[in-house]
Amino acid sequence: MRMLRGWRRGLLVLLVCAWTWGVVEIVLPRPATRAAGSAEYVTTGVFTPAHPNAFAAVKDFVDLHPEHPVQPIAYTHTVHLAKGLPCTFCHVGVDQGPEARIPGVTVCMSCHQSIATDRPEIKKIAAYQARGEDIPWVRVYNYSESAHVRFNHAPHIRAGVDCAACHSDLTKQTTAERKIDLNMGFCINCHTQKKVSIDCETCHY
């Protein structure tokens, strides 16, 4: 240390601190579990809204999420929508309550026990059902718990908002992609245009 003078010493101190922080915050695991429903699922004996590690917190803060996550089944919206299937056939509840249900294997097999049964992806679905397992879909649209936002689908559907307005044109997507950035500005713009409440408590409570 005594060999270093001035700015070099300062830089060394900074690097040592950064290294220590890295070890403590990022490498060492926290006793935390992300809320179930997300792709990463670490389990410990406790549930907490905290992020599992600092890197996850950083990702969440800068909104770094994969736009087109890889799904376990190569589902194609294109094909199904072209056949005239309404969104609510699979995504039940979107006009009744806050959430749009992501369909389970039972929904898929209700048709695919007899339709296109020779395709490899359909065989995969049948295999899931045979094992008593549900398809582990990766969530594409979600707000993290720390956004403290409570989005409710039903009033939007009832107001006549088209699914594509927020979820983009799914007739051109296989598995879902986040083509539209659903940040607060996006919501506020539409609310202002449609003259709907932009009071904070409308969504944040």
Which residues would be at the binding site for other proteins (CB under 8 A)? Answer: 3-4, 8, 11-12, 15-16, 18-19, 22-23, 26-27, 31-33, 36-37, 39-43, 45-50, 53-56, 92-93, 96-99, 101, 104-106, 129, 132-136, 145-150, 152, 154-155, 158, 199-201, 204-205
Residue closer to other proteins by CB (options 100, 170) is: 100
CB of 194 to other proteins, least distance (A): 14
Residue closer to other proteins by CB (options 1, 120) is: 1
Q: How far from 60 is each of 25, 29, 147, 197, CA to CA, in Å?
A: 16, 17, 9, 27
Residue closer to other proteins by CB (options 13, 82) is: 13
Q: How far from 119 is each of 74, 92, 149, CA to CA, in Å?
A: 11, 26, 40
CB of 82 to other proteins, least distance (A): 26
CB of 17 to other proteins, least distance (A): 10
Question: Hey, what amino acid is at 194?
Answer: K
Residue closer to other proteins by CB (options 3, 83) is: 3
Q: How far from 116 is each of 119, 124, 174, 183, CA to CA, in Å?
A: 6, 12, 17, 39
Q: E-strand spans in 61-106?
A: none
Question: Hey, what amino acid is at 136?
Answer: P
Rounded to whole angstroms, how far apart are CA atoms 133 and 75? 17
CB of 102 to other proteins, least distance (A): 8
CB of 11 to other proteins, least distance (A): 8
Residue closer to other proteins by CB (options 50, 182) is: 50
Rounded to whole angstroms, how far apart are CA atoms 126 and 119? 11
Rounded to whole angstroms, how far apart are CA atoms 143 and 183? 10
